[in-house]
């Protein structure tokens, strides 16, 4: 079944690169999620930090090939949940971490996984809520790291290449999360 989920994890370039590399992901598109109005859904305005938008990636995936739990595992492997107002050197509300869903099925899974993830951190700043709106980012942002392999991103290419092949079963999420949270073994 084709489903979609929206991830905000700082600059969208690396997030898009990671998820577009995962088997079972049909499409990963950079854009702006949950902001105040369509006319403010552009890089210039979003960078001002007062639009409510998050740099986000729409991930369309085939749930017969990759589970939402697996995608959430990858998301939590790249996001710094204890950073309140951004990710790494990317600071501002547009870089806040978030997971946005469009259906009850996804909401239930996200709630369960977030409960597991919260056990590993004293502070947890990942917003989880329904998607209100999403607007595709400008063309030059799409596949940015593919077109600009030396481009800056807080998620390193080493991490992307290591993570893209990770496969976990939904029922093994807790065990897998514990192992990777104790020792990431790579630099995001």
- Taking residues 21-45, what's their average pLDDT? 97
Provide the pLDDT for residue 164.
Answer: 92
| Active site amino acids | 11
Residue 33: is its pLDDT beyond 60? Answer: yes
> Around Cβ 169, how many Cβ atoms within 10 Å?
11
Provide the pLDDT for residue 154.
Answer: 81
Which of the four pLDDT bands, split at 50, 70 and 90, describes residue 186?
Answer: very low
C-alpha to C-alpha distance for 44 and 52, rounded to whole angstroms: 13
Q: What is the pLDDT of residues 42-77, one digit of tens each?
A: 999 999 989 999 999 999 999 999 999 999 999 999
Residues 6+ apart with CB under 8 A from 135: 31, 32, 35, 38, 41
pLDDT top residue among 169 and 108 = 108
Which of the four pLDDT bands, split at 50, 70 and 90, describes residue 124?
Answer: very high
Residues paired with residue 4 on neighbouring β-strands, in sequence order: 60
Half-sphere exposure of 114 (CA within 13 A, CB side): 18
**Choices 3.30.1060.10, 1.10.3720.10, 3.40.50.2000, 3.50.30.60: CATH for 2-182:** 3.30.1060.10
Residue 176: is its pLDDT beyond 60? Answer: yes
- Average pLDDT of the chain to the nearest whole number: 92
Q: Which stretch of 53-57, 119-123, 129-133, 155-159 has the lowest confidence by average pLDDT?
A: 155-159
Provide the pLDDT for residue 104.
Answer: 98
């Amino acid at each position: 079944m084709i489903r979609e989920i929206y991830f905000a994890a700082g600059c969208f370039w690396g997030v898009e690169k990671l998820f577009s590399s995962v088997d079972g992901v049909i499409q990963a598109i950079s854009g702006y999620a949950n902001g105040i109005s369509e006319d403010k859904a552009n890089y210039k305005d979003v960078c001002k930090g007062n639009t409510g938008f998050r740099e986000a990636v729409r991930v369309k995936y085939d749930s017969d090939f990759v589970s939402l739990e697996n995608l959430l595992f990858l998301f939590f492997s790249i996001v710094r949940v204890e950073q309140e107002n951004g990710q790494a050197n990317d600071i501002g509300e547009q870089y806040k971490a978030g997971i946005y869903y469009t259906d009850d099925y996804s909401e239930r899974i996200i709630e369960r996984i977030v409960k597991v993830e919260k056990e590993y951190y004293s502070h947890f700043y990942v917003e989880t809520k329904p998607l209100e709106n999403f607007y595709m980012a400008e063309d030059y942002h799409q596949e940015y790291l593919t077109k600009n392999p030396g481009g800056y991103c807080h998620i390193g290419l080493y991490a992307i290449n290591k993570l893209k092949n990770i496969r976990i079963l939904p029922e093994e999420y807790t065990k897998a999360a514990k192992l990777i949270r104790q020792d990431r073994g790579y630099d995001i």
